[in-house]
Amino acid sequence: MKKISLMGATGSIGIQTLDVLREHPEEFKLVALSVGKNIIEARKMINEFTPSLVSVQLKKDADQLIRELPSSVKVLYGEEGLVEVACHQDADILVNAVLGSVGLYPTLKAIEAGKTIAIANKETLVTAGHLVMDAAKSKEVTLLPVDSEHSAIFQALQGEQEKNIEKLIITASGGSFRDRTREELVGVSVKEALNHPNWSMGAKITIDSASMMNKGLEVIEAHWLFDIPYEKIEVLQHRESIIHSMIQFHDSSVMAQLGTPDMRVPIQYALTYPDRLPRPNGKRLNLAEIGQLHFEKMNYERFRCLHFAYEAGRIGGSMTTVLNAANEAAVALFLDNKIAFLEIEEVIEKALNSHEVIHRPDLETILTIDKQTRSSITNGI
């Protein structure tokens, strides 16, 4: 039986991770979980999965849970709580499904503790990929991708050698506004942006999909996870989200991974790798029913955030920290109706242009730049 610790249990990936655990009670046991502010759902999860450690974002919620729960359940809060969940001594695998660069420090601590990590939290790799990958290498820790594109590449790589890769082809659905021109994006509402055609996800990543920043973050994530230079990473628009990504090898052969869009598949694969478990209720792919798959070249003028991400990635160092922090801050402002959808791009562009890159920044520098970038954006509105 594998023991699992889960950061971000109340989120979209967290909930689907619990679905996987529920489908295979004989295979997995949840030993620790963290949530943010959703205490109502947390209570139900604690009752169902009986973890021995729980962490919440706020002290007042921790105090409330301590009053309610038996003393056998340890309750913590804030960063310290996240770190304890990340490093839980009994856990065989940490699922990092927290949102944003708040996941960075606990991830580094989990690596230090030698934990295998199933990583959904792409912002951590974007903000400090070099720190995470260097630490994972020196501690010989395995990072298992959860993001569907990276899981696809990882699956297609089984039995292959990274040195034989000619390029990675990351597919992009195009998000909620894929059929609109830039002019038609003026004044779009939060509700429209949250209406993703293929995937049901958390609010931030759904906005990132609409702006194409999600694909940009994924390009940087792929760069770090697979140690591939940016010129060998291509993005291809594929509206059906059936081919989750591909690898083209030097001999011109292309390996792809396909399936109906369901995040429980890559989550489960990360938890069972290198084995697979049955998913009797998982929807099977029926290509005859689908009939056609569509592919289009990406338009970098239409989707400027993708262009920013490649630029920031190529410059490297602290530039991707700024990209990520500016995007997190801008998306939060858009979700709060404080800026328009197209202003997300403007805010990010301004932050990138005003930053002087620091190469190979250490953790302290990254945390400072992350904080400064967010506050200058939030206070500037």
Cβ-based nearer residue to ligand NDP, 36 or 216: 36
CB 142 within 8 A of CB 229: no
| 106 lines the binding site for ligand NDP (CB under 6 A) | no
| 366 lines the binding site for ligand NDP (CB under 6 A) | no
Stretch that binds ligand NDP, among 31-39, 305-313, 316-324, 362-370 (CB under 6 A): 31-39
> DSSP code of 102?
G
CB 96 within 8 A of CB 123: no
- Residues 147 to 166 in contact with ligand NDP, rule: CB under 6 A: 147
Minimum CB distance to Mg ion, residue 153 (Å): 11
| 208 lines the binding site for Mg ion (CB under 5 A) | no
The whole-angstrom separation of Cα 109 and Cα 113 is 6
**Which member of 1, 22, 37, 195 binds ligand NDP (CB under 6 A)?**
37
| 35 lines the binding site for ligand NDP (CB under 6 A) | yes
- Residues 257 to 276 in contact with ligand NDP, rule: CB under 6 A: 263
Cβ-based nearer residue to ligand NDP, 87 or 120: 120
Cβ-based nearer residue to ligand NDP, 31 or 35: 35
> Of ligand NDP, Mg ion, none, which one does residue 122 interact with (CB within 5 to 8 Å by kind)?
ligand NDP
Residue at token pair 């290509």: 287
Side-chain-side CA neighbours of residue 339 (13 Å): 20
Number of residues near Mg ion (by CB under 5 A): 3
Cβ-based nearer residue to Mg ion, 149 or 370: 149
| 221 lines the binding site for Mg ion (CB under 5 A) | no
> Taking Cα atoms as reference points, which of 153, 324, 161 lies closest to residue 225?
153
> Taking Cα atoms as reference points, which of 236, 235, 187, 216 lies closest to residue 337?
187
CB 286 within 8 A of CB 225: no
Cβ-based nearer residue to ligand NDP, 101 or 318: 101
The whole-angstrom separation of Cα 89 and Cα 86 is 9
| 53-56: strand order across its sheet | 74-77, 53-56, 28-34, 2-7, 93-96, 116-119, 143-145
Main-chain dihedrals φ then ψ at residue 279, nearest 5 degrees:
-130, 80
**Which member of 205, 243, 329, 348 binds ligand NDP (CB under 6 A)?**
205
Concatenated DSSP letters of 116-149: EEEE--HHHHHHHHHHHHHHHHHHT--EEE-SHH
| 14 lines the binding site for ligand NDP (CB under 6 A) | yes
Side chain identity, residue 69: L
Residue 327: both structure tokens together = 């995007």
The whole-angstrom separation of Cα 33 and Cα 18 is 10
Give the H or E element holding residue 309.
Answer: helix 304-315
The whole-angstrom separation of Cα 264 and Cα 15 is 10
Minimum CB distance to ligand NDP, residue 267 (Å): 9
**Which member of 8, 51, 174, 259 binds ligand NDP (CB under 6 A)?**
8
| 6 lines the binding site for ligand NDP (CB under 6 A) | no
Number of residues near ligand NDP (by CB under 6 A): 30
> Of Mg ion, ligand NDP, none, which one does residue 259 interact with (CB within 5 to 8 Å by kind)?
none
| 147 lines the binding site for Mg ion (CB under 5 A) | yes
Minimum CB distance to ligand NDP, residue 109 (Å): 14
> Of ligand NDP, Mg ion, none, which one does residue 57 interact with (CB within 5 to 8 Å by kind)?
ligand NDP
> Taking Cα atoms as reference points, which of 231, 199, 204 lies closest to residue 311?
231
The whole-angstrom separation of Cα 241 and Cα 260 is 8
Stretch that binds ligand NDP, among 22-30, 34-42, 61-69, 369-377 (CB under 6 A): 34-42
Residues that bind ligand NDP (CB under 6 A): 8-14, 34-38, 57, 97-100, 102, 120-123, 147, 199, 201-205, 263
Residues that bind Mg ion (CB under 5 A): 147-149
